[in-house]
Structure 1
Amino acid sequence: MARLSPYLLTTSATCACAVAGSLASDPDSSYYKNLTKPAWNPPNWVFPLAWTSLYACIAGTSGYTLARLKQDGNTEEAGRYSAALATNLALNASWSYTFFRSHRLGLATAHAGVLALSSADLVRRTARISKPAGALLAPYAGWTAFATALSGSIWWLNNKN
């Protein structure tokens, strides 16, 4: 049986993550509309644009990294990288469920923080194999750190206790 290309695998996994997160996100819901948001909250149209470009970077840089690791015969590191990527994408996709569906703003903030740490780790792992690929992926870590701050601010502004 032929093995799938690392690019096909990372693109498929990233697309699945994007679809899962999109299905859970509902910025038009009364819940989200009624939340108090900080003045620095971007307009809703910014999020799909940012995420689409970030997902493309994740798929491309991760595919490249895995291809390089496999080409170099470093299957153990490729396995660790794949596990880190899978964990990151699972955290990414599930955050929307925590925030938009569960309405648990404190948990969503913690969730976003773990995602930001995972994203920074993915950038670190990628940069060890290719500095340019790591640099291309770095905005993802920055965006998830921003999302953590934004989630925390929304939680703070809407804390009823």
Structure 2
Amino acid sequence: MTSATQVPASPALPPWLRLAAAILPVAATAFVGSVATQAEIPGWYAGLTKPAFNPPDWVFPVAWTILDVMIALSLWRLLGARPRTGPSRSGWWLALAAFLAQLALNAAWTPTFFTAHAIGAGLVVVAMLLVMVLWSIRLAWRFDRAAAWLLVPYAAWVSFATLLNAAILRLN
């Protein structure tokens, strides 16, 4: 029997603080999106020519509510997977930075597309968002595979959003 036993590192934050740290940035992103779209849906967006595969307007808030819960849960798990020492620590910080960068891009897309009516710039932002979500999945995989898997539907939705944004740009 060896005298040294490996004890898993406990999360760096207490559970309640980790929960707040996971929910608040996702909720803030959702709030920005909601404020940026509400006035534009019945006016500017309704007047755009959209592709046949454009879903009804009610689908978007339903999808985003589900995705936001999954994104927050993913962040909560990633925050709990933080290594205390070793080479993995810098990799964890990179995973967290990528996660927060994709949230920032998520928050930036809606005002770019809806408020500024910048469909082309919106396409650039949503394409960058897709890259960052995929990179976040790859980086989170090393620390918490469930956190990574929770982002997969988000990546699928952002892929669809990128295609939809490109089609709207082409049609308008």
Q: 1:127 to 1:78 in 2, by over 3 A?
A: closer
Matched with 1:29 is 42
Q: 1:133 to 1:50 in 2, by over 3 A?
A: same
TM-score, length of structure 2 as denominator length: 0.83
TM-score, length of structure 1 as denominator length: 0.88
Give 1:3 deviation, angstroms.
5.3
Matched with 2:81 is 68
Question: What is the alpha-carbon distance in structure 2 between the residues aligned to residue 40 and residue 96 of structure 1?
Answer: 20
CA-atom RMSD in angstroms: 2.0
Task: Identify which of 18, 27, 30 aligns with 1:6.
Answer: 18
Q: 1:46 to 1:72 in 2, by over 3 A?
A: farther
Equivalenced residues, count: 157
- The 5 A counterparts of 1:1-161 are 5-26=17-38, 27-70=40-83, 74-158=88-172
Larger helix proportion, structure 1 or 2? Answer: 1
The farther-off stretch of 77-86 and 2-11 is 2-11
Question: What is the alpha-carbon distance in structure 2 between the residues aligned to residue 115 and residue 146 of structure 1?
Answer: 12
Give 1:137 deviation, angstroms.
1.5
Which of 1 and 2 has greater Rg? Answer: 2
Residues 84-136 of structure 1, C-alpha deviations (whole Å, 9 max, x = no match): 12211110011011111111111111111001111111111222223233222
Gaps of 5+ in 1: none
Q: 1:72 to 1:22 in 2, by over 3 A?
A: farther
Question: What is the alpha-carbon distance in structure 1 between the residues aligned to residue 95 and residue 140 of structure 2?
Answer: 8
Q: Secondary structure at the match of 1:69?
A: coil
* % identical equivalent positions: 36
